Structure 1
Amino acid sequence: MFTIQEYTVETVADPFRILEGERYEFMIDVEVEEDDELFHEEGVRLRVVYAVIDGNGKVVRYEFQTAGTGAYLDIEMEDDELVMVEKFCADSFKDA
């Protein structure tokens, strides 16, 4: 399990209206316990693409990255973590 520390959110531009609804990109710095498989000394960042279609939001893509280099980490979120992140994005996407 991880804890959300800081984040930024931006609207994903779709000038050709290819995507349904609105898309938001979150860059979330997370704190991870040292004994967790996700832990990296340089820190961990979570990149999330959140879609809002007809008022309903959901995470459509995510990836963990090392905070320093942005290297991709091949780790999936657990179900409870995904629920937490979806709630966080639902509460925060309007900040874009």
Structure 2
Amino acid sequence: MDITGHTVEQLEDPTGILSGDRYEFILNIEVPEDDELYSENGLYIKAIYVDEGNQSRVAQYHIFEKVTDRYLEFELEEDEEKLLKDFCREHISDM
């Protein structure tokens, strides 16, 4: 999986209940044709990244087909989840 582009937006918690800062990432991805995730229409991931100072995590993510915006019920492999988390951590200042 390669991340080919992204956008990031900080989310506001109007209730003040949630701890840490939350960011929504939209990540354009490419996967090889032999990968089960592959789609001719292209793919993107919507991810919520939580930064709580000394801890950070991807709270959730969903994979979508670009052209149709159709949700795909796939989970990333462990190394892909790590790539996603590391990418988000490195790019939260890109707003």
How do 1:1-16 residues align onto structure 2 when only pairs under 5 Å count?
2-16=1-15
Q: Distance in 1 between matches of 2:88 and 2:53?
A: 16
Report what 1:77 is aligned to: 76
> Unpaired segments of 5 or more residues in structure 2?
none
TM-score (structure 1 length as normaliser): 0.93
TM-score (structure 2 length as normaliser): 0.94
Moved over 2 A (4+): none
**Residues 1:59 and 2:58 aligned together:** yes
- CA deviation digits over 1:23-47, x for unaligned, max 9? 0000000011111110111100011
Query: Cα offset for 1:81?
Result: 0.5
> Unpaired segments of 5 or more residues in structure 1?
none
Aligned-partner residue type, residue 38 of structure 1: L
Aligned-partner residue type, residue 13 of structure 2: D
Provide the secondary structure at the position in 2 that maps to 1:20.
coil
Report what 1:86 is aligned to: 85
Q: CA RMSD in A?
A: 1.0
Aligned-partner residue type, residue 21 of structure 1: G
Report what 1:41 is aligned to: 40
Aligned-partner residue type, residue 84 of structure 2: V
Query: Cα offset for 1:53?
Result: 1.0
Q: Distance in 2 between matches of 1:49 and 1:94?
A: 15
Alignment size in residue pairs? 95
